């Protein structure tokens, strides 16, 4: 994909959970829930929050006023709107002075949704950017469906936005069709064409939103749109927690967001959205730092770096070791030692079969009391198993 920038500046993350995240089917946040989320995002060090859509009405505008009062100067807020007079009128009355004004740029949406032409798009960008600037707003031009647009036209739209006074172009992969290689080439060409900031807004329909966001950053994007847990329309957006971790551990870039805040943020959004977190969800899933395999557990007990690419404590997590079908005798020894029972290797070997049978039948690891019950059933009383002193248990 070409060489990355030699001295990249960390990207600015733009959290749009309150806007694009709430557009997920069946998700609706109350005002208090939005304020709880803003508090958590600000505390985590999120530099920019896309707070909502003013044209939705009085209730949304009142919430945006409350968000602005809460965030103060600790976080930059954006509002979202179309390039439409009603949207601009709703935005002008708010204390949020940065507007993301969106317009389709693919021929598909220009012709089939707007029933307009390319020249109309260019003129509309000129007009609305200038009108917004006259209102004292800073403007990002959101190029909806940029990934399906002809790239040369995307470049013309971005150039037009820059000439009109916009400070940012949002390259939206609205349908999540990009791959990292195409993303890199497109953003690199865009970066070489305009001097304004470039934001990548990736959707996850093909499961590549995080990878596409990193590719865009390496190609010159200055901002990355994210949502907590990847919440959003259809398959969602680039997940905040994945982007933060991938930047830190893959690109060796600290974007300023506290890693130890991600787990709590994830749980909060799961609660207020009604969307449970999958157990295997990277970074924040319940089982992503849990180990059962005998080889892995043995290696972790010898040295955690045998089976960790980064310390989960940096993300507010810890390794969890459980016993199951794939546990070896040393892992079983370790598990029972935690319960105050010292097993010989032969006794631990004898426990493998009943533990595996339990997990196969119940589809979960046994609890401490169940492990002790399996031990009592498997090893006759008085044969080898020894209770450890309290100081060693």
Tell me which residue range forms the domain holding 209: 12-273
Q: Is residue 32 helix, strand or coil?
A: helix
196: closest CA among 165, 153, 151? 165
Q: Are 52 and 261 contacting, i.e. CB atoms less than 8 angstroms apart?
A: no
Q: What stretch of H or E contains 128?
A: helix 118-134
In a domain, 232, yes or no: yes
pLDDT at 4 (0 to 100): 40
Q: Is residue 1 part of a domain?
A: no
> Is pLDDT at 188 greater than 80 in this prediction?
yes
From 229, 244, 273, the end of a domain falls on 273
- Please tell me whether residues 204 and 344 are part of one structural domain: no
Q: Is the pLDDT of residue 296 over 90?
A: no
Mean pLDDT of 87-96: 96
Is residue 67 situated within a structural domain?
A: yes
- Average the pLDDT over 39-51 and give the result: 98
Q: Tens of pLDDT along 113-155?
A: 999 999 999 999 999 999 999 999 999 999 999 999 999 999 9
Q: What is the largest CA-CA distance in the chain?
A: 88
Mean pLDDT of the chain: 92
Same domain for 145 and 193, yes or no, is yes
Q: Where are the alpha helices (DSSP H) in 221-317?
A: 240-249, 262-273, 294-302
How far apart (Å, rounded) are the C-alpha atoms in residues 182 and 169? Answer: 18
CA atoms within 13 A on the CB side of 65: 10
Residue 50 has, within 13 A of its CA and on its CB side, a CA count of 30
Q: Do residues 379 and 316 share a domain?
A: yes
> 106 and 173 share a domain?
yes
Q: Is the same domain home to 305 and 266?
A: no
Residue 285 lies in a domain: no
The pLDDT tens digits for 236-269 are 999 999 999 999 999 999 999 999 999 999 999 9
Report yes or no on 5 lying in a domain. Answer: no
- Asked if 244 and 257 touch (Cβ cutoff 8 Å), the reply is yes
- 366 shares a domain with 243: no
| Lowest-confidence region among 61-65, 121-125, 337-341, 354-358 | 337-341
pLDDT at 386: 53
User: pLDDT over 90 for what percent of the chain?
Assistant: 78
pLDDT of residue 294: 64
Q: Is pLDDT above 90 for 3?
A: no
Which sign, positive or negative, has the C-alpha torsion 298, 301, 305, 311? positive
Considering the domain boundaries, does residue 283 fall inside one? no
**Given 273, 303, 323, which residue is the final one in a domain?**
273
Q: Which pair of tokens denotes residue 139?
A: 């403007």
DSSP code of 39? H
| Angstrom distance (rounded) from CA 117 to CA 159 | 18
Q: How many structural domains are present in the chain?
A: 2
SS3 content of the chain, % helix, strand, coil (to 5): 50, 15, 35
Looking at the structure, do residues 198 and 73 belong to the same domain, yes or no?
yes
Quick one: pLDDT band at residue 385, thresholds 50, 70, 90?
A: very low
Question: What pLDDT, in 10s, does the model give residues 154-171?
Answer: 999 999 999 999 999 999
Segment 386-392 shows an average pLDDT of 50
* Residue 321 falls inside a structural domain: yes
Gap between the Cα atoms of 150 and 282, Å rounded: 34
Boundary-marking domain end, from 241, 273, 305:
273
Here the CATH number for the domain that contains residue 222 is: 3.20.20.70
Q: How far apart are the first and last CA of the chain?
A: 54
pLDDT for 13 equals 98
What would the mean pLDDT of 325-329 be, rounded to a whole number? Answer: 88
The verdict on 328 and 258 lying in the same domain is no
Residues 6+ apart with CB under 8 A from 134: none
- Claim to verify: residue 226 and residue 370 sit in the same structural domain: no
Q: Do residues 252 and 369 share a domain? A: no
Is 118 contained in some domain? yes
Does the structure show a pLDDT above 90 at 55? yes
Q: Are residues 307 and 332 in the same domain?
A: yes
Q: Which of helix, strand or coil describes residue 353?
A: helix
Q: Could you tell me the pLDDT band of residue 292, with boundaries at 50, 70 and 90?
A: low
Task: Please indicate, yes or no, whether residues 342 and 210 belong to a single structural domain of this protein.
Answer: no
Residue 201, SS3?
A: strand
């Amino acid at each position: 994909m070409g060489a990355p920038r030699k001295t990249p500046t960390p990207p600015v993350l733009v959290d749009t959970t309150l806007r694009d995240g709430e557009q997920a089917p069946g998700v609706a946040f109350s005002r208090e829930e939005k304020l709880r989320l803003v508090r958590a995002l600000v505390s985590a060090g999120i530099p920019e929050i896309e707070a909502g859509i003013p044209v939705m009405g009085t209730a949304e505008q009142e919430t945006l006023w409350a968000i602005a009062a809460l965030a103060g100067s600790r976080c930059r807020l954006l509002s979202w709107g179309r390039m439409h007079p009603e949207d601009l009128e709703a935005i002008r009355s708010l204390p949020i002075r940065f507007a993301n004004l969106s317009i389709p740029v693919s021929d598909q949406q220009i012709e089939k949704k707007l029933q307009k032409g390319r020249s109309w798009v260019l003129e509309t960008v000129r007009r609305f950017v200038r009108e917004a600037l006259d209102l004292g707003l800073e403007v990002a031009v959101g190029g909806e469906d940029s990934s399906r647009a002809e790239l040369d036209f995307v470049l013309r739209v971005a150039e037009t936005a820059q000439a009109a006074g916009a400070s940012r172009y949002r390259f939206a992969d609205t349908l999540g069709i990009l791959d990292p290689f195409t993303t890199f080439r497109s953003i690199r060409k865009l970066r070489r064409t305009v001097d304004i900031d470039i934001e990548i807004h990736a959707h996850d329909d093909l499961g590549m939103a995080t990878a596409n966001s990193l590719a865009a950053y390496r190609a010159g994007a200055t901002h990355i749109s994210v949502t907590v847990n990847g919440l959003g329309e259809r398959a969602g957006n680039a997940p905040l927690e994945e982007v933060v971790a991938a930047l830190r551990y893959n690109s060796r870039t600290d974007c300023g967001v506290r890693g130890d805040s991600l787990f709590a943020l994830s749980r909060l959004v799961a609660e207020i959205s009604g969307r449970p977190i999958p157990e295997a969800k990277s970074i924040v899933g319940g089982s992503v730092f849990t180990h059962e395999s005998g080889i892995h557990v043995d290696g972790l007990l010898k040295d955690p770096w045998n089976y960790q690419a980064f310390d989960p404590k940096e993300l507010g997590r810890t390794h969890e070791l459980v016993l199951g079908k794939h546990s070896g005798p040393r892992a079983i020894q370790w598990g029972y030692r935690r319960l105050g029972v010292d097993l010989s290797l032969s006794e631990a070997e004898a426990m493998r079969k009943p533990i595996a049978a339990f997990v196969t039948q119940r589809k979960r690891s046994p609890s401490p009391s169940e492990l002790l019950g399996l031990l009592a059933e498997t090893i006759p009383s008085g044969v080898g198993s020894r209770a450890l002193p309290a100081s060693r248990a």
